[in-house]
Amino acid sequence: MQRSTSRVTENAQERSPRHNSSVQQNHLNPEREKKLVFLSARVHPGESPASFICQGVIDFLVSQHPVAQILRDHVIFKIVPMLNPDGVYLGNYRCSPMGFDLNRHWQDPSPWAHPTLHAVKQLIVQMNQDPRVSLEFYIDVHAHSTMLNGFMYGNVFEDEERVQRQAVFPRLLCQNAPDFSFSNTSFNRDVVKAGTGRRFLGGLLDDTSYCYTLEVSFYSYMTAGSTAPVPYTEETYTKLGRNVARTFLDYYKLNNLIKDNRPIHIQSSEVMSQTSNVNRKGNGFGRDAADKEKEKSMGIRH
């Protein structure tokens, strides 16, 4: 996975304006800041589904899929597949070898007690100060022990327009991934979560950046029209990761960074079928009545 991560970085850097002029031929203004997406996983070592999602993201981004090639031309992806490798090695559930929950120490990580977190925070701060790039997304991937489906946590803002913009990515992901639930997605400023990556970086980065926690159930998911939960497998976790990656194309196309010049057979984001015997009903691929009601209550317009 680490080898794949370096390939993502290399592929993205090779296509940046300062490394390769071919980007200019792909309708990208060389004067424009390069968009940057940062993903991390396994800060809680026992949440192994996060690794399969991360692997799905990486596998898709380094593939020859036309959507992946467009994304590599326009966006830099930085991926840390394992924020707590020592905890994973020791078989810990939530903490580091010294007993720290690293996802509560983003505000002031110690280079001695929390070395991986300290290094990643320094890297993010450095990238955020680089005028050549625009750090637009930070997504930290976790697994949830009680809730079903994939869903997200986001932050609370006073600016209503920013609230609306923050809801766009999870809504697009809900349309692409049958197992992702917008109705389970929530936005909060819980005090006990102040030291998490989502909360800390949400306050550090500017108002064009969005920080999320992506959660996925340890157990099962429900699709629209289904009557029973479907158990997750390694493959369906990986497919969710692929759907996360491809959703960035929809997001950046919506924001006019990427022109819609894809071949007709990938005109809309391809949705990977999660199971061959689940009958999906309704529109939106996984968007049920609860999802629509939540969007309505948030004032989201289609």
Q: How far is CA 221 from CA 195, 218, 226, in A?
A: 29, 9, 10
The tens digit of pLDDT for each residue in 50-99 reads 999 999 999 999 999 999 999 999 999 999 999 999 999 999 999 999 99
Structural domain total, the chain: 1
**Residue-averaged pLDDT of the chain:** 82
Q: Is residue 162 part of a domain?
A: yes
Tokens 């120490």 belong to: 105
pLDDT tens profile 250-292: 999 998 888 755 543 343 344 333 323 333 333 333 444 454 4
* Chain mean position to CA 38: 8
Range of the domain at 122: 2-297
| 274 belongs to a structural domain | yes
Exposed e or buried b per residue across 37-69, where buried means at least 16 C-beta atoms within 10 angstroms of its C-beta = bbbbbbbbbbbebbbbbbbbbbbbbbeebebbe
Chain segment 126-161, per-residue pLDDT in tens: 999 999 999 999 999 999 999 999 999 999 988 889
Euclidean distance between the first and final Cα of the chain, in Å? 37
**302: in domain:** no
DSSP-derived 3-state class of residue 34: strand
Burial class (CB within 10 angstroms; exposed 0-12, middle 13-18, buried 19+) of 198? buried
Phi, psi of 2 (to 5 degrees): -65, -35
Read off the pLDDT of residues 187-230 as tens digits, 9 standing for 90 and up. Answer: 988 888 889 999 999 999 988 899 999 999 999 999 988 889 99
Structure-token pair, residue 251: 């997001």
Quickly count helices (H) and strands (E) in the chain.
Answer: 10, 8
User: Residue 191: inside a domain, yes or no?
Assistant: yes
| Ramachandran quadrant class, 209 (left: phi over 0; alpha: psi -120 to 50; beta: rest) | beta
Q: What is the pTM of this model?
A: 0.78
Active-site residue numbers?
215
Give me the residue label for tokens 């992901």.
173
Phi first, then psi, for residue 41 (nearest 5°) are -150, 165
Q: Are 47 and 142 in contact (CB under 8 A)?
A: yes
- Block residue for tokens 């980007």: 23
Measured N-to-C along each axis, helices 168-176 and 234-254 cross at an angle, to the nearest 10 degrees, of 130
CATH number for position 162: 3.40.630.10
